Amino acid sequence: PERIDPGRTDFTVRTTPKLVGGMTPACTEKAVALYEAICDRVVPLSGPEAAELSKLLENIFRSVNIALVNELAQLCDRLGVDVWEVIDAAATKPFGFMRFDPGPGMGGHCLPVDPFYLAFKAREHDFYPEFIELAGKVNQSQPLFCVNRIERVLNDNAKPVNGTTILILGVSYKGGVGDTRESPAIKIIRLLRELGAEVSYHDPHVPELKEAGLSNSPDIGNALDEVDLSVIVTAHPEFDWEEIISRSPLVFDLRGVTRGFEDSGNVTRL
């Protein structure tokens, strides 16, 4: 199975261990010999089933933990507690805790799909992985929760959603890439439009968002000045958070990237 993380430079095809499982021991040996020429480490397994299930485990591990912190963000919203403060505090424990951050939902061609694929395969064997499937559903519902929060941010500032101009900052599924497959930004845009909002976007990696019939607003400065609310959906490294905070009348941060920056009370975080 492939093991890549688009946008990363610290782990490459060569430096990431390669899992290999052949149909027969001879097939495995040939595959190992092939990949040893391009990978620093090759890990032979008993067969393709073990190799593919290992890949699914890697992705579903992320899906389950992202669902956990997304659900925690929803609970913290009801409790009036800063979810980022809670996660920062938990992350000080040097053992028994791995940090995951909440956000607008999951995207890409693997993480949103794999939990449901494995659940489908499990049902063929009369097994129902409720926990795995529930994590997928929690992550699927996160864009709706974010839109509900956007409504509240606007209402708290005496603005309705209907007719309000909203700038989506980042529409790809993760920072530093232009891939919009299963991006939660697309669902957020659709839901906001259904409520009557006038939505535009800025993304240095996505010139056109065909799924929404939108083109990139190329001048981020003008775009920030001309809208009622800017929503940080994808944390691209090119974004200047200080500029976004200072030029936007209102900012709703779904990624926690505005922490540590001074604001005039115009910033709300997930």
User: Among 28, 46, 64, which residue terminates a domain?
Assistant: 46
SS3 content of the chain, % helix, strand, coil (to 5): 40, 10, 45
Overall domain count for the chain: 2
Residue 76 lies in a domain: no
Nearest to 45 by CA among 36, 32, 62: 32
Residue 149's contacts (CB-CB under 8 Å, 6 or more residues apart) are: 77, 252, 268, 270
Q: Is 39 considered catalytic here? A: no
Query: Which one from 27, 39, 76, 110 is the annotated catalytic residue?
Result: 110
pLDDT exceeding 90 applies to what percent of the chain? 92
Question: What does the block give as tokens for 103?
Answer: 């956000």
Residue 164 lies in a domain: yes
Same domain, 149 and 261: yes
Range of the domain at 197: 142-269
Which residue's entry shows tokens 């992202």?
66
Nearest to 186 by CA among 146, 155, 135: 146
Residue 15 lies in a domain: yes
* Residue 159 DSSP code: -
Nearest to 67 by CA among 108, 98, 95, 106: 106
What is the reported pLDDT for 210?
A: 94
pLDDT digits (tens, 9 = 90+) for 77-116: 999 999 999 999 999 999 999 999 999 999 988 888 898 9
Same domain, 148 and 256: yes
CATH number at residue 187: 3.40.50.720
Residue 51 lies in a domain: no
Same domain, 150 and 42: no
pLDDT tens for each residue of the chain, 270 residues long: 989 888 888 899 999 999 999 999 999 999 999 999 999 999 999 999 999 999 999 999 999 999 999 999 999 999 999 999 999 999 999 999 999 999 999 998 888 889 899 999 999 999 999 999 999 999 999 999 999 999 999 999 999 999 999 999 999 999 999 999 999 999 999 999 999 999 999 999 999 999 999 999 999 999 999 999 999 999 999 999 999 999 999 999 999 999 999 999 999 999
Residue 113 lies in a domain: no
Residue 116 lies in a domain: no
* Residue 214 DSSP code: E
Residue 4 lies in a domain: yes
Residue 92 lies in a domain: no
Which residue's entry shows tokens 């976004």?
244
